[in-house]
Amino acid sequence: MSVGNQTSQGAVNNALTQLALSMRELMADVAQQQAYLTKLGTTGLQGLGFTSGDATTVLDDINHMATIAGCYKGTVQQGGTGGTGAILFNFEDFLTHLWGGS
């Protein structure tokens, strides 16, 4: 078939590296934003113009994102069902071989 771009070993490796680097940076950004917003708290967010309810939503949203970042970094348990079988697994450490020294 000659329709579309054909892939190669290099293209697959480049895609994996770029995805791993993007994931690493995104998870770090989430953790940094959570630290900042948590310090601001509801009162600080209200000072920026958020209503009390919206400030609570902002904190809930970033905390949920931080849970995903915590799973990625191996600081939050993932897996299992009904509270059993959950484990810590450091996805970030596991994917370091894809970073290409970056």
Do 57 and 71 contact (CB within 8 A), yes or no? Answer: no
Do 20 and 88 contact (CB within 8 A), yes or no? Answer: no
Is the whole-model pTM more than 0.85? no
The H or E element containing residue 46 is: helix 9-47
| pLDDT confidence of residue 12 | 92
| Mean pLDDT in residue range 67-81 | 82
Instruction: Summarize pLDDT for 25-53 with one digit per residue, the tens.
Output: 999 999 999 999 999 999 999 999 999 99
| pLDDT confidence of residue 84 | 63
CA dist 36 → 22, 31, 46, 95 (Å):
21, 9, 14, 27
Rounded Cα distance between 47 and 7, Å, is 51
